Structure formats: structure tokens, C-alpha cells
Amino acid sequence: MGKKFTVCIGNFDGVHLGHRKIMSETLKLSRKLNVCSTALSIMYPWGYYFPNFPGLIYTIAKRVELILSLGIKNVVTVDIEEIKDIEPEEYILALINQGMVGLVVGEDFTFGKGARGNTELLRELSRKLKFELVIVPHLKRDGRKISSSWIRELLAQGKIELANELLGSPYTISGKVYQDNRLGTKLGFPTANISRGIEKVVTPRSGVYIVKSIIGSRLYYGLLNIGFRPTVNFSKEIKYEVYFLDFSGDLYGKRLEIELLKFLRPELKFASIDELVHAIRRDERIARKWVSKLDSQVV
């Protein structure tokens, strides 16, 4: 890291409102001390290494992008395996030797071998080693701590609007468009199939969502189906297919980032293709009405 800096440390998956408060305090401390700001992001939480972990909210690359967008100057990512056996005091000394003059953490922050380091120890070390320490209280919503695990729960339940509120910005999925069997085009609703890559990210509840995305320089709204296509060509793997309203063009090979705005309905198995088409038309009518109302509120 080189020069003197303040640093916030955490996993920061999702970069939600609680994380944003920590980063806001980091920037404030950086200005006070007239030094650079840094976020040290532990790439994966402990749960990531267990089979039942639902996945990260965002890829590491997206997390870094979000942190930088908040004004933090540098982001350092570290694997928990690299630091889990370091004694807490040794860990803080290493940061000081690299130039740390200020540290910002959440109130439940733990670190070092056996997670023996905590905020009480940090208070002692800050006095002893002469660095500034800011401990940020939990940010809560309806009496519950805002956390990455809560947001993962909400995404799994399809409660996208509350998840977006806690994140501080709309939840997005991104990936490259690939060619599938073109069934959507045959049904009159050309869809872009999105591959999210190999990183283990959370899967939102199966169903239909109202979404938006920038294609070229223009904003488009659309319908995203997440699921297994139970009516036709049942898939063993989860599929992400988006139908953009009023869009025509070739998206194959392009990378899209899509914001999830509203959950419309769960994925259903219809008795016939005609029923499926009827349902999609109904979804489109609802989406257009919702978007029209949204646009009128913005104006």
C-alpha cells in the first residue's frame, strides 16, 4: 500500500447500507488525517467454503467496482486462508508497518487466529500503537441488523424491493449473452440468455421479474425469467432469460448488466404453449403499466 492510509476491513459482500456507512466513516477519517482511503475486502466469508452456502451477492469484480464508486481510493482483496492463522496483534502491526494510521470496522468485527481479535482488543491496540480507530454501530432496519446474510435470504424469497433498499441500489446480475434454442423468438418474445460465469453467486427466487438495463446508450425495461423452463425444454441448470420491451437487435456475445426491480410471479409449469404465451403477454402488460407509472413519478 506504500503511503499512509486509513483502512476499513470486512467481507463487504453486496456493499450494502451497513458497509456503505463503514466506508463513509473511512472517507471522513481519511479527510481528517489527510491520507488515502483503502478498503481491505476478505474475498469469501467462512460460509463460502461449506456446501450449503447460497452464494455471494456479487462477484468479487462487482464488489470492487461498487466500493470504488463510493469514493474509496484503493481496494485490496485477500483470501481468508492467508490471514486466518495470524495472531491479532501481529496482523495490526503488519498494517501499521505498511502505513496504516486509521482503522474503521463494524462493531462485531473479529480477526486473527481463532477470531480472537475483536473491537475491545482494537481499542487497546489503538491506544498502545497510536492509530485512530472508528467502530461503526450496526445499521438496522425494523430492528434487524442489515447484513449480507439477510439480503441473501431476501433474494432467495424474491423480495427484491426490500433487498434493493438494504443494498442501497438495485440488485444486478450480469453476464455474456449466448445463443440457446431461440424458443423465445419462435413464441414471439425474443430473449437474451445470460451466462453468469463460474463464480458462486446467489440465485434469486425462480420467477419473472421486471428489470432494466442499458444497451448501447439507451435504457430498456424488460422481463427476466429465472428458472428451469418447466413448460418447454426443461433445464437441469438454472436459466436467466430476459425479454426487453421495444428492443430489436442482436445481443449475442455482448455483456449485459441487468437491474432487478420487481418480482412479478413465480415460475410456473403451464399445460400448453398457448397458456405460456398468454401468461407472458399478461406479464408484459403488467410490466408496461408498472413502468409507465414509474416514469410518471419520475417526471
Indicate if 113 and 204 belong to the same structural domain: no
For 16-72, how does the pLDDT look when each residue is reduced to its tens digit (9 = 90+)? 999 999 999 999 999 999 999 999 999 988 788 888 899 999 999 999 999 999 999
| pLDDT value of residue 8 | 98
Q: Is residue 263 part of a domain?
A: yes
Do 129 and 174 have their domain in common?
no
275 and 174 in a common domain? yes
| Residue 186, pLDDT score | 65
**Domain match, 211 and 128 both:** no
Would residue 157 count as lying in a domain? no
Last residue of a domain, one of 112, 136, 160: 136
CATH code at 212? 2.40.30.30
**Cβ within 8 Å of residue 52, ≥6 positions away:** none
Which set of grid coordinates corresponds to residue 274?
398457448
The answer as to whether 90 is a domain residue is yes
* Per-residue model confidence (pLDDT) at position 190: 86
- Going by C-beta distance under 8 Å and a sequence separation of 6 or more, which residues neighbour residue 156? 54, 202, 203, 204, 205
- Same domain assignment for residues 76 and 181: no
pLDDT of residue 240: 95
Which residues in the chain land under pLDDT 70? Answer: 1-2, 181-186, 234, 298-299
For the beta carbon of residue 120, count every other beta carbon within 10 angstroms.
Answer: 9
Q: How many C-beta atoms surround the C-beta of residue 299 within 10 A?
A: 5
Total domain count for the chain? 2
What's the confidence (pLDDT) of residue 189? 81
Is 45 contained in some domain? yes
Is the residue at 80 inside a domain?
Answer: yes
Torsion angle, alpha carbons of 261, 267, 271, 273, to 10: 50
> Is 147 part of a structural domain of the chain?
no
Long-range own/partner contacts, residues 194-201 (CB < 8 A, 24 or more apart)? 194/240, 194/241, 194/242, 194/256, 194/258, 195/240, 196/240, 197/59, 199/56, 199/59, 199/60, 200/48, 200/53, 200/55, 200/56, 201/55, 201/56, 201/57, 201/58, 201/59, 201/173
User: What is residue 184's predicted lDDT score, i.e. its pLDDT?
Assistant: 63
Query: Does one domain contain both 83 and 194?
Result: no
CATH number, domain with residue 11:
3.40.50.620
Concatenated DSSP letters of 267-278: ----SSHHHHHH
Find the domain containing 238 and state its range: 170-298
In the listed set 93, 117, 136, which residue is the last one of a domain according to the structure?
Answer: 136
Q: What is the pLDDT of residue 154?
A: 98
Domain for residue 178, yes or no? Answer: yes
pLDDT of the residue at 230: 78
